Each structure stands twice: as C-alpha cells, then as structure tokens.
Amino acid sequence: MKSLEKVFRIIDLVEDNKEMKLQEIADELGLYKSTAHRLVAELCKNGFLRKNESTKSYQLGMKFVDLSSHIIDNMDIREVATRGIKRLNDVTGETIHLALLVDNQVIYVDKKESAHAIRMYSQIGKVAPIYCTGVGKAVLAFQPAETIEKLLDGVHFQRFTPNTIVTRKELVRELATIRRNGFAFDREEHELHVGCIAGPVRDNTASVVASVSVTAVLYQLKWERLVAYRDLLLSVCKEISTGLGYRESMGDGARAAPRRDRALALRDGRSPRSTSGKGKGRRSF
C-alpha cells in the first residue's frame, strides 16, 4: 500500500508541475533516487508517464487520455445534467428540456415539468424538429458547415404556426444570428403561445452535442421574463459542458463562424451580406 501511495503522489506531482526530472521527483517526495526510478519506470511501462528525451523530464502519459475518453464516452448526459436542470426548474418554475443530437435528429432525453397547471406537449424520446424548436436550433447552429448542410438536406419544412421558419434561406440566416448570440429562441414557431430560450452543450471535444431550454406558455409568462433567464441558462449549459469534459481553453469555434456563415450563404445561392440575422418581420434580441 505504501508503494501504491507513492505512485499516486508521483502522478499528482507531475500533473501539478507539467514536467519533472527524476531527481526533482525524488527530492520533492523524500525518496531515494533508485526508488523513484523504479516507480517512474513502472508508470512509464504502463503508459501513465512518458519521458521527454530532449529534456530528460517526465510528463503524464497518454493512458490518461484513453481513460478519460472511456469515462466520458460511457457517461450518461442525463446524470451529468441533473443538477443543472433541477436548478433551472427551481429558479424559473418553467419547463426545462434536455435534448441530444443522435445521428441526424435532436431528441428530448430529459424534462422537468413546470409548476403551472397548463403544460406543453413534449415527451422524453420524441424528436424535436431541428428547424423550429429552440433545442433543435441551438444544436444545429454550432455544427461544422458540412454537417449543417447534411442536416438541412434532410429537413422537410412544415408550417406549424404563422411564425414557423419554412425556407432554408431564412433558417441559414437564423443560424448565423444564433452563433453570434450564443443561444437560440423559439418564438412560437412549433406551438402557438409557447416560447423558449435554449443554449448549447459541448463535450470533451468542444463539439455541441446537446442543448438545454427554458420553455414557457407565453400567456402565463411575459416574453421579456423568459429572455431574462439567458444568463442562468448559459451558466447551466457551461456547467453541464464542463461535466462532459469541455474546457474553455478548447475554444468554441467562434472564430470560424464568419467563414462558416459565408460558406453556407454561398451554398444557399445568395450574398454573404444577407447573413445579418435580421429576418423580415421577426423580432431581434
């Protein structure tokens, strides 16, 4: 057990210092150099440490990358998101949805009902239309351009309400606005009198794989009140993303957005200038 404790201490020490020489490890932990060498050699053999031959120092090995990827791949996003979704539900009193991108569809995977007597139609396991729901647009907007193109090719536009986006051109314009703002709205586009604000959730590769929304019946709640939940919503999305392994240092693809918007605009057969995000007759926030 003492040897195992020393192994863990070496790993923690190298993690904290990024890179350490053998003598530094021995001195820091009060070990004989021969003992430190034996333990370090065993850690290198099993991939937990690796030696930088140019500096003769030791760094964390690729085994930790394999282990972390395995843990994250087997992580249930609902488990990670539970606390944040409950907090949103407790503070807002509104319905909270968690939706996941599965192949070419966005599917509701968790839901916390509102405290109100009147509730909207949505069920866990059901597909959320990707072009006219907040959770759908929040996932779609942050995909790579080629993925967006592929997903849009599979969209069959249907008008659910007078506010439903029913053309590819208008949807591309809306997605550009969502990327700039960092969140999406559903302005009674799927159901009349139902609106939502939704934010993206990223995984350990910085890819947007899910979204969370605050959804309300608008004659029970004024639109401005729903919009005011933005900061809380994005905070919860960030919390869930962190739980999935995302770190801000990875970036979020924002720098590539103008190029992506230009590519989508040109493929849509129009000038890139029209990606301003201000559609005719639609509210801008």
Residues 161, 264 within the same domain: yes
The runs of H, that is alpha helices, within the chain are: 2-17, 22-29, 33-45, 63-73, 77-92, 134-140, 145-153, 168-181, 223-227, 230-243, 257-267
As a whole number of Å, the CA-based R_g of the chain is: 24
Q: How many whole angstroms separate alpha carbon 275 and alpha carbon 216?
A: 29
pLDDT of residue 160: 93
Can you tell me whether residue 171 is helix, strand or coil?
helix
Residues 84, 162 within the same domain: yes
Tokens at residue 109, please? 């995977």
Residues 12, 123 within the same domain: no
Q: Is the pLDDT of residue 36 over 70?
A: yes
What is the DSSP secondary structure assignment for residue 193, as one 8-state letter? T
Residues 122, 260 within the same domain: yes
Q: How many whole angstroms separate alpha carbon 118 and alpha carbon 116?
A: 6
The rounded Cα 271 to chain-centroid distance in angstroms is: 30
pLDDT of residue 283: 37
Domain limits for position 48: 2-62
Instruction: Give the confidence band of 225 by pLDDT, cuts at 50, 70, 90.
Output: confident
Return the CATH number at 40: 1.10.10.10
CB-count burial class (<10 Å; 0-12, 13-18, 19+) for 74: exposed
Distances (CA, A) of 231 to 80, 237, 243: 20, 10, 18
- Over residues 87-122, the pLDDT tens digits come to 999 999 999 999 988 877 888 888 898 876 555 556
Residues 100, 182 within the same domain: yes
pLDDT of residue 280: 38
pLDDT of residue 165: 94
pLDDT of residue 114: 84
pLDDT of residue 113: 86
Residues 256, 156 within the same domain: yes
Q: Is the pLDDT of residue 209 over 90?
A: yes
Residues 30, 118 within the same domain: no
Instruction: Establish if 51 belongs to a structural domain.
Output: yes
Residues 82, 57 within the same domain: no
Residues 43, 177 within the same domain: no
Tokens at residue 232, please? 């809380």
Tell me the mean pLDDT in the region 242-258: 68
Residues 31, 79 within the same domain: no
Number of domains in the chain: 2
Q: Is the pLDDT of residue 250 over 90?
A: no
Residues 111, 13 within the same domain: no
